[in-house]
């Protein structure tokens, strides 16, 4: 089943985000390589493709896991959690309708 993982950033987390990004992306790439990734990306903190020093307010990942517990465990082990980028992560089942 698909699960939506929403990570909400701590204030002033841009530098921690930059430091942990390679490890974060490696985990996402693994999901992609396994054919389990629907989409992933950050939420810019301002209305701009590149928010510059404003940074990001969080991230969205929609990926396939065998259970909610597995998705929650995967989200909890994200390098952004360990680095203090995310102040909160929410995991919810997701049903893709379109396209």
Question: Is residue 99 assigned to a domain?
Answer: no
pLDDT (average), residues 66-89: 98
pLDDT in tens, 11-61: 999 999 999 999 999 999 999 999 999 999 999 999 999 999 999 999 999
Q: Structure pTM?
A: 0.95
How many domains are there within the chain?
A: 1
pLDDT of the residue at 11:
95
Question: Is residue 84 assigned to a domain?
Answer: yes
Question: Is residue 56 assigned to a domain?
Answer: yes
pLDDT of the residue at 94:
98
Range of the domain at 15: 2-93
* Residue 27 and residue 82 in contact, taking contact as beta carbons nearer than 8 Å: no
Main-chain phi, psi angles of 81, to 5 degrees: -70, -50
pLDDT (average), residues 47-76: 97
DSSP structure class, residue 28: H
């Amino acid at each position: 089943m698909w699960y939506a993982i929403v990570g909400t950033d701590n204030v002033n987390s841009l530098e921690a985000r930059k430091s942990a990004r390679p490890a974060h992306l490696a985990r996402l790439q693994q999901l992609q390589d396994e054919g389990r990734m629907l989409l992933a990306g950050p939420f810019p903190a301002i209305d701009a493709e590149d928010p510059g020093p404003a940074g990001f307010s969080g991230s969205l990942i929609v990926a396939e896991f065998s259970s909610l517990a597995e998705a929650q465990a995967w989200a909890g082990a994200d390098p952004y959690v360990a680095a203090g980028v995310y102040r909160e992560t929410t995991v919810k089942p997701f049903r893709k309708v379109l396209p």
